[in-house]
Every structure is written in structure tokens, then in C-alpha cells.
Amino acid sequence: MWGFGGSVRPNKSVKGTRRPVAVLKFGFFQGSAASFKPTEAARRNVRHAAMEMKFEQTMEEFLSPAIMRKRLISASIYIAAFESLKESIVSKIRFYYCLDDSGNSKPCESHKKEVLSRNKSAVYASLDWFKERQAINGDDLAKFEQIKLCRNDLSHELFSLIGSRGLPKHFETRFHELVELLHKIDIW
């Protein structure tokens, strides 16, 4: 018995060599004991077995209510927190410029001129306004982009993330950065 639990049967019919042909669980291997190399058929069998194991693991995770619940709740909270962050970024400045005597915030020209004219996106225009006033810095803007990319992955590829791949690689880091940025904007 060698290697992967299969049996080795010497076959002296390999013309011109004394190299054994091994019949293993995963296919045929040829070569001397010092250089035992898998054939292409063996490589395919190993890849197929690995894919089967990955598929079975994926299906178990997909069908497990505990795992699915955790992933769905985590993704939902992240997406909701991101939307809250965007709203906070835009509404803080709108409130600052457009508060009327009755305590309501209405669209006004000074907000359009001072903030919204900076960018087509109200969020990016507001981020630029915050940066100009040193409430946030360039690192915060870079973090916002990473937070947004994670949100886009969650929103647009939810089924594959929840089913096979799991949550994005840096999910927890991005979530902490999101909360920090939201706090920074809110206390300004």
C-alpha cells in the first residue's frame, strides 16, 4: 500500500522500463518510487473529487438555517447601515444650510450652490464639503469607497455570497469602518 490508500501493482509490461504502474483510488500513476507523477486522468479525478466535496459543503451550508440566518442578518444590517451612513452624510449638511424658522429642512439655493454644485452625486458632494471643513480626511474617503464596494458585493451578489462564498473577505473590517465613519459624521 502506498500513497492515497490504493494498492500498487507492478506491471513489467511497460515497454523498455522497470517503472511500476500504480492503480490508486484517484487513477493511474506512473514513475519510479522517487518520482511518482500523476497522469492527467488522475489529476481530473482529484479535481472532480475536490469539486464534489466543495459542492457538498456548499449545499450543507446553503441548507443550514443557522448559517443562512447569520449570513442574511449580517448582510441586511450592513446594507441598512450603509444606507443610514449615506443619509446621514447628505442630511447633516442639508439641515445645516436649509433649516427654516419652523425647524424643517427644505431645499434651498445656498445648499445647491455651496454643496450640490461640487458633484452630481449628493453623497460625494457632501463628502467633499466635509473634507474641505476637515471633518473627514482622505483616508476616510478611501474607507468610504471600500465600504461601498463591500455593500455592492452584498447587494448585487447576495445569492452567491450567502450560498457558496460566504460573506466578503473583509466584511468585519468594513463594518467597523462604516460604524466609525457614521459616528464621525454624526458627532460633527
- Which band of pLDDT confidence, cut at 50, 70 and 90, is reported for residue 59? low
Alpha carbon distances (Å) from 144 to 40, 74, 81, 123, 148:
47, 19, 12, 11, 6
Least confident of 58-62, 141-145, 152-156, 165-169: 58-62
Instruction: Tell me, rounded to whole angstroms, the distance of Cα 61 from its chain centroid.
Output: 17
| 29 lies in the same domain as 114 | no
476637515: which residue's cell? Answer: 134
| Cell, residue 180 | 466609525
* pTM for the full predicted model: 0.65
502506498: which residue's cell? Answer: 2
Whether 130 is covered by a domain: the verdict is yes
Whether 152 is covered by a domain: the verdict is yes
Q: How far apart are CA 65 and CA 77, in angstroms?
A: 18
Q: What is the mean pLDDT of residues 111-116?
A: 90
Whether 112 is covered by a domain: the verdict is yes
Whether 144 is covered by a domain: the verdict is yes
Whether 110 is covered by a domain: the verdict is yes
| 158 lies in the same domain as 82 | yes
Residue 99 is given by DSSP the state B
| 179 lies in the same domain as 99 | yes
Give me the domain span that covers residue 156.
65-187
Whether 119 is covered by a domain: the verdict is yes
Indicate whether 149 pLDDT > 50: yes
Mark which of 41, 62, 83 sits at the end of a domain. 62
| 104 lies in the same domain as 182 | yes
| Cell, residue 35 | 518520482
Residue-averaged pLDDT of the chain: 76
| 79 lies in the same domain as 130 | yes
Indicate whether 12 pLDDT > 50: no
| 51 lies in the same domain as 80 | no
Q: What is the mean pLDDT of residues 17-42?
A: 49
| 128 lies in the same domain as 36 | no
Indicate whether 128 pLDDT > 90: yes
Whether 2 is covered by a domain: the verdict is no
Whether 90 is covered by a domain: the verdict is yes
180 or 98, greater pLDDT: 180
| 42 lies in the same domain as 116 | no
- For 129-177, the DSSP string reads HHHHTTSS-HHHHHHHHHHHHHHHHHHHSHHHIIIII-S-TTHHHHHHH
| 131 lies in the same domain as 56 | no
Q: What is the pLDDT of residue 115?
A: 92
Cβ atoms of 169 and 111 closer than 8 Å: no
Least confident of 144-148, 153-157, 165-169: 165-169
| 128 lies in the same domain as 55 | no
| 14 lies in the same domain as 87 | no
**Please, which residues bridge with residue 22 across strands?**
8, 29
Burial pattern 10-19, b for ≥16 Cβ within 10 A else e, equals eeeeeeeeeb
130 or 108, greater pLDDT: 130
Q: What is the mean pLDDT of residues 73-84?
A: 94
Overall domain count for the chain: 2
Instruction: Please enumerate in sequence order all residues whose Cβ is within 8 A of that of 123, keeping only pairs 6 or more positions apart, or say none.
Output: 86, 89, 90
| 52 lies in the same domain as 86 | no
| Cell, residue 118 | 461640487
